[in-house]
Structure formats: structure tokens, C-alpha cells
Amino acid sequence: MAHNILEINNLSRQFKIGGMLLGKKIVAVDKVDLKLPGDKPQIMSIVGESGCGKTTLARMILRLQEPSSGDIRLDGTPLSHYDKRQHRKEFLKKVQPIFQNPFTSFSMRKTVDTYLFETALNLEIAKTKQEAQRIVSEVLHSVGLELNHISGKYPNQFSGGELQRISIARALIPKPSLIVADEPVAMIDASLRMNIVNLFKKLKDEYKVNFIYITHDLSTAYYVSDYIATMYRGQLIEFGDARNILNKPSHPYTELLLDSIPRVGKKWNEDMVLPDMEDKEYGLNGCKFANRCMYAQDICRSIDPNKVYIDPEHMVLCFKHNDYK
């Protein structure tokens, strides 16, 4: 039976904002179920406008944030297994992060090559300095850089694009099975974004590594994804094979987002965030998209839509598709 590299079941995370009495609850991630098949390496993009819960979901997968409820399994093993001190390195060998701002991923007082060597030695990927040098040269070469060009240099001597390549190289050192990249190109010059994202595609096959690529930038997700997960107000509202979703978006919100694709580099949140509506939508009964949906019916405003599987790998959370049940 095919196994899942990542399996997320009924995962939620709430935040309380404001005081004890007058504070309110934000459900940043709301009962998310997600499976990333492990038969071959995949790139899964998580897309959606600002505040929909992408980073909170990523941080829970990276064990940087505790879920309020639900569970996450990596290759069948619950993440709680890695809570034990003796298993923490094991986790870092399997799952690596790439963050939005490469300048905060590196210590400004340490040369970049030292940092890479330390990663190889601390994670026990290399036993000697020579072995670390061989591994670091190899990963740098894979991202289009050479060790002798970066040796002895500090992070501020690189451009954002170069430094992000170096953080990708760092993430590759343990040959992880999953890399979680949260908006990795958001701070990079628009003309260089596709180069970085295309690199994910190359590395996916070269290192047999799965990527979760979190982005606002639908145009980049369009070219590299095997799977697309769309989030809206904390909920996973559509998930499936990228080709199916791009050719036949089934949730009205995904449909709306896809209309923006031809405008390369466009960020969804520029047009679509309605901040004054956000808080109200979090607490709405029924479908959270109903106020913006041209297909909304009375039922959409009173009952939560259930998951409908258009095919075994294509899920949508919308009443419009209830005939497929």
C-alpha cells in the first residue's frame, strides 16, 4: 500500500488575542486534513491570501508551534515521537525549513561556510572536517554555487537571492525527505524568483526530496506544483493534483485566485484581503467565503460545507459539489 510522506488529521490551532475577558479567539488553522503521497517526490504548494493560516500550518509541521488539536504524521510516525530529546536530531534530518528572510537565517557574525560545516557536523552527517567539506561542496554545487566563491564571506556580502540559495543548500545537507519553504521568494527580486522556484523542481528529483512551498505568488506555484492546497480563513478549502485544480478549479475562491495567474508576480493579498471583514468571517456560521461568493445559497450561510471528493485525490469544501458525494 502506498504510504504518505506527510499525513495531517483534523489539525487545528487557535490563538487568543486581547485580554482574558474581552479577548477573542482566532482559529488560525481549522480542522485541516491533508495527505502528501510518498510514492515519488512531490512539490505541494499551499496558497491563499494573507492571514489564512499558511505559516501557522507550516510551523506546526516544523514542530515550531504546538497544535491545539489533531495530529501530524511523518512517514507514519507521529510528530510527538520527536519531542524526546534523543529524537530531535532525527527530526532535523528528515524535515528542514527554508524561511522568507535569508538574512535572518544566518548569524551575521559567522562566515557562511562555517555555518554550513557546522550543520553537517552537528547533525552528524559528516564525521570529519574533510567529509563536511565534500558534502557542503556538493550541496552548494546543486544550487549553482561553488564553495571557493563563498568561503570566508559573511551573510551581508551576498545578495538576497544568493543567500536564499545558500539556505537551500544548508537545508539539503542532511538529505531530508521534506523541506518546508515559507514564502521563500517573497523577499527576492521578482526577476530571480522563478530561478529559485525552478531549483526546487530540479532538487526534488536530484535529492528525492518533497517540498511544501508556501506562497502568495500564484504564478510561481502554477509552474512547479504537483499538488495544490488552497486555504481560506484557516480552512483547507480545496486540495488536489495541481493539473486538475489548475484546469478545473472547483472552489469558487480557487477559481477567483486563478483568474490572476497571467499577471506574473502578482500577490493575491494586494487585491483580495478585506481586513475589516476578516474578524467577522472567522466567526461566521456556514461557509466562510459566502459573503464573497457569487454562487452562495441560503444553506451556505447556515451550515458548514462538508468535504466533497470530486475524485479520490481532489477534495473541495463547497455545497456546489454535493452531487458528487
Distance CA 223, CA 249 (A): 16
- DSSP letter for 304, please: P
User: Binding segment for ligand ATP among 46-54, 76-84, 238-246, 306-314 (CB under 6 A)?
Assistant: 46-54
Tell me, residue by residue from 101 to 130, as one string, x for binding to ligand ATP by CB under 6 A and - for no binding.
------------------------------
Answer with the entry of ligand ATP, Mg ion, ligand SF4, none that 290 interacts with (C-beta below 5 to 8 A by kind): ligand SF4
> Whole-angstrom Cα distance, residue 266 to residue 107?
32
Tell me which residues touch ligand SF4 (CB under 6 A). 251-252, 287, 289-290, 293, 295-296, 300, 305, 318-320
Q: Does 34 bind ligand ATP (CB under 6 A)?
A: no
The smaller minimum CB distance to ligand SF4, of residues 97 and 252, is found at: 252
Beta bridge partners of 214: 46, 182
Taking the CB of residue 88, how many other CB atoms lie within 10 A of it?
Answer: 12
Residue (of 181, 172, 311, 287) closest to 234 by Cα position: 287
Contact 71, 29 (CB under 8 A): no
Which residue of 38, 41, 53, 155 would you call a contact of ligand ATP, by CB under 6 A? Answer: 53
The residue within the footprint of ligand ATP, chosen from 5, 6, 8, 28 (CB under 6 A), is 28
Judged by beta carbon distances under 5 to 8 A according to partner kind, the member of Mg ion, ligand ATP, ligand SF4, none in contact with residue 318 is: ligand SF4
Contacting residue, 4, 9, 15, 70, with ligand ATP by CB under 6 A? 15
Instruction: Using the structure block, give the residue that is written with the C-alpha cell 484546469.
Output: 247
Look at the alpha carbons of 196, 200, 201, 202 in this order and tell me if their dihedral is positive or negative. Answer: positive
Residue 50 near ligand ATP by CB under 6 A: yes
**Upper half-sphere CA count for residue 304 (Cβ side, 13 Å):** 11
Q: Does the protein bind ligand ATP through residue 56 (CB under 6 A)? A: yes
Using CA atoms, how far apart are residues 168 and 106, in angstroms rounded to an integer? 12
- Selected from 35, 42, 54, 135, the binder of ligand ATP by CB under 6 A is 54
Nearer to Mg ion, 99 or 239 (CB): 99
What gap in Å lies between CA 78 and CA 69, rounded to an integer? 13
Cβ 2 to ligand ATP, closest distance in Å? 29
